Amino acid sequence: MNKKIMVVSILITILVLLSGCVSSPKPVVLSKNAEGTMQGLNSVTIVTADIENQGESGDVLVKVEVKAPDKEPMNQQQVTYIEKGMIKKLSFTFDTEFGDNIYYSVTAEPT
């Protein structure tokens, strides 16, 4: 009897875990862009990204890294809710030096 209960418990646990995986967001970075500009007297780099949710509605973690040669990378992240099938445009602003050759990356994952 205890063996049956344990098998049923394991099956229920597996089903619950799988249901959580099936109903999660599936974010995809459709496009990204980085542009240097001035804000007042400060030089900044604005990174924009279009994130599409190809899964179920839910929270998505978007991470951006900006790096200039010979400098430490700068990172920002944001959690945003994206409905199923929708595209959301996000913007991140980094303080940078005018004329820096900027390398950047954008990633998105379900939370």
Domain with 47, as residue range(s), is 25-110
Q: Do the domain assignments include residue 36?
A: yes
Q: Do the domain assignments include residue 14?
A: no
Q: What is the CATH number of the domain that holds 73?
A: 2.60.40.10
What residues have CB less than 8 Å from 68, skipping those under 6 apart?
96, 97, 100, 101, 102, 103
pLDDT value at position 11?
Answer: 74
pLDDT value at position 79?
Answer: 98
Q: Do the domain assignments include residue 4?
A: no
Q: Do the domain assignments include residue 2?
A: no
Q: Do the domain assignments include residue 12?
A: no
Q: Do the domain assignments include residue 8?
A: no
Helices (H) and strands (E) in the chain, counts: 1, 6
pLDDT (tens digit per residue) in 67-107: 998 899 999 999 999 999 999 999 999 999 888 899 999 99
pLDDT value at position 44?
Answer: 95
Q: Do the domain assignments include residue 85?
A: yes
pLDDT value at position 63?
Answer: 98
Looking up tokens 């595209």 gives 87
pLDDT value at position 10?
Answer: 79
- Residue 96: count other Cβ atoms within 10 Å of its Cβ: 21
pLDDT value at position 17?
Answer: 63
pLDDT (tens digit per residue) in 8-57: 777 777 766 666 556 899 999 999 999 999 998 899 999 999 999 999 99
For residues 94 and 45, give the distance between their C-alpha atoms in angstroms, rounded to a whole number.
5
Q: How many Cα atoms within 13 Å fall on the side-chain side of residue 38?
A: 4
Q: Count how many domains the chain has.
A: 1
pLDDT value at position 2?
Answer: 76
Q: Do the domain assignments include residue 104?
A: yes
